[in-house]
Structure 1
């Protein structure tokens, strides 16, 4: 056992340092995203979803860092990864819209000015929509029309269409102040 520890002492130390740095990065990213979510008054479920995406990105960075520390043969690893991605790419080609909707969901989280309760009007000549946002999911928005219909609208289409936003009106509590 001591032979193994002494033989791989440098790699073990670098691995421990990498794991500590990645945990620190994960913690900081989580804090930053949650702070942006609180300052922008976003739904906590929506914020948690973006934190989960950031954690996945940190995990992938960690795998790459550990691979470098342990001197993984990248030619063999590259062959394995390219083969796996080729099979996944062929199998999931029709699922490309899922990835674009997830990406659009992340972009909407950080940049778009609407939130749950806002009334929006989507400027689409084929399918104009005027509705209130009930929920914002990873793949789509849940919209309630004035007629009471529930519509799911893909996130990636929101980036492609013009959206007119009417902010939510605060309810009157009878005190005479807003």
Structure 2
């Protein structure tokens, strides 16, 4: 055991420092995301989801740092990563909409001007009733739950919320639509 500690002293110190930095960054990031969520009055479930995403990203960086600290041959790592990314790339290409919805969910967390309980209109000509008022019931990782005036639950993908114009229902009046109250 003593031989191992003496032989890999620098790597062990580097690992300890890397793990300490990882834990500090995770703590600071969690506090910052919770503060943004509280200031923006964002649902706690959404806040925890974003914290989880950031922890996964930090963990990936920590793994890469540990691989570099322990001096794994870059050629071997390149071969392994290229194989892994080829498989993941094919899988993600098939699931591109899921990835874009997760990314849109993170963007909506930090910049979406509407909250749960707001009434909105989605300006989408392809929708059944393009000027209908919806009540935002929940904002999830992949989609938003909207309630129609007739009580029907409607899910709308997060990436579409970024692509289509969305307005608060109280911000304008449509003389042809009497659906302001849900």
Give your verdict on TM over 0.5: yes
Aligned to 2:174: none
Number of aligned pairs? 167
Inter-partner Cα distance in structure 1 for 2:65 and 2:145:
39
The answer as to whether partners of 2:145 and 2:154 remain within 8 angstroms in 1 is yes
Aligned to 1:174: none
Pairing 1:4-83 to 2, within 5 Å after superposition? 4-83=4-83
Structure 1 unmatched runs, 5+ = 168-178
The answer as to whether partners of 2:92 and 2:99 remain within 8 angstroms in 1 is no
1:93 CA displacement: 2.2
Inter-partner Cα distance in structure 2 for 1:67 and 1:88:
20
The answer as to whether partners of 2:101 and 2:143 remain within 8 angstroms in 1 is yes
1:2 CA displacement: 0.6
Inter-partner Cα distance in structure 1 for 2:145 and 2:32:
27
Secondary structure of the corresponding residue to residue 56 of structure 1: helix
Higher mean displacement: 125-134 or 111-120: 125-134
Secondary structure of the corresponding residue to residue 121 of structure 1: strand
Q: Which runs of 4+ in 1 moved over 4 A?
A: none
Inter-partner Cα distance in structure 1 for 2:60 and 2:91:
22
The answer as to whether partners of 2:120 and 2:168 remain within 8 angstroms in 1 is yes
TM-score, structure 1 normalization: 0.91
Higher mean displacement: 61-70 or 27-36: 61-70
Inter-partner Cα distance in structure 1 for 2:92 and 2:21:
34
Secondary structure of the corresponding residue to residue 141 of structure 1: strand
Q: Does 2:127 align with 1:130?
A: no
Q: Does 2:123 align with 1:120?
A: no
Structure 2 unmatched runs, 5+ = 171-182
Aligned to 1:149: 152
1:135 CA displacement: 0.4
1:73 CA displacement: 1.1
